[in-house]
Amino acid sequence: MTETSQFLIRHGTPIIFGAVFLEQIGLPLPSPPWLLAAGALAAMDKFNPLAGIGVTLAACLLADAIWFYLGRFRGHQVLGWLCRISLEPDSCVRRTQNVFTRYGLRGIVVAKFVPGLSTVAPPLAGMSNMRAIKFLSVDAVGSLLYGSVFIYAGFFFSSQTQQIGAAIANIGGKALCLAGGLLAAYIAYKYWQRQRLLEELRTARITVADLRQLLDKGTNVAILDMRSSAEVESDPALIQGAIRLTMDEVKNGKLKIPTDREVVVYCSCPNEVTAARAALLLRGQGFTNVRPLLGGIDAWRAENLPVSKFSPPNKEANLSART
């Protein structure tokens, strides 16, 4: 039996609580290996699986309640901070919003099993004015499933878990160095990818003042709202005259306007990342003058400029109406 197993036998419940809490609070420290190991020990009668599931539930609820209330009272600040520390600055929020849009309350359960989404889901739920008791009830179901799945997977596949642990112990430092090197390479690639996108963005952005000036001059500008469906449902205000469009519609070439038309794209995400990606897609489709809006809709509203309320239109008519 490895030293890690002996340590887990002696301090099992606080170790499981700490590992799950740190993961759910947002640190990149995965808890499933600890839950699997606890399940393998349970198969040898060295650990109580129900106690492991119980502390997993408690750790998840504590971390998620903290994020829920931070989202309720500091919503956009919290999401902005989460995305700044994420390897995927914008998609961490967008993917979670898409899960909520597709699955509703079940999205809270689904997000629990997806790294990154499990941290972003509670503040988004808080921002949506969901009742705390409803959120915590659904979150408890997801947390119970999360703990049960991994602990009982370790229980039923205990021999395989022990073999993997023994192999890692035999390889020792070489395995850790290899894993650390791969992780460092992945982080470096994501950082480079992000910096390249942001550099393109810096050279292309248009300010709110410049956009307002174009509109005052009567320039025929197509303004695209690229926020997710969940964002628009919770905040249906659009920049006046904007066309509501999804990323899939951009990818599929659904924007039916002349390619030499001036296009301004906006979102409500850190660094205008979604708007920048949409702009790059449109350029690839032949649009010659596409720019993200610096600061997005938040910067527009900060200047008290006109907005209109979104109502789902006839999509095909809307996309081709302003030619």
CATH code for the domain of 290: 3.40.250.10
Q: What is the pLDDT of residues 49-94, one digit of tens each?
A: 999 999 999 999 999 999 998 888 876 667 666 655 554 545 556 6
Same domain, yes or no: 211 and 156: no
Please say whether the beta carbons of 34 and 98 come within 8 A: no
Q: At what angle do helices 3-10 and 32-43 cross, to 10 degrees?
A: 80
Please list, residue by residue across 11-25, b when 16 or more beta carbons sit within 10 angstroms of its beta carbon and e when fewer do: ebbebbbbbbbbbbe
Q: Which domain holds residue 100?
A: 3-175
**Residue 269 parent element (H or E):** none
Same domain, yes or no: 210 and 94: no
Same domain, yes or no: 165 and 213: no
Question: The pTM is what?
Answer: 0.57
Same domain, yes or no: 70 and 133: yes
Tally of domains within the chain: 2
Same domain, yes or no: 306 and 257: yes
Q: What is the pLDDT of residue 167?
A: 47
Same domain, yes or no: 165 and 23: yes
Beta strands, E only, the chain = 221-225, 237-239, 243-244, 262-266, 290-292, 307-309
Same domain, yes or no: 130 and 254: no
Torsion of CA 154, 160, 162, 164, to 10 degrees: -110
Residues with pLDDT less than 70, the chain: 1-9, 75-77, 79-103, 116, 159-180, 182-183, 186-187, 189-204, 269-272, 312-323
Q: What is the pLDDT of residues 179-191, one digit of tens each?
A: 567 667 766 766 6
Q: What is the pLDDT of residue 323?
A: 45
Q: What is the pLDDT of residue 320?
A: 47
Same domain, yes or no: 248 and 161: no
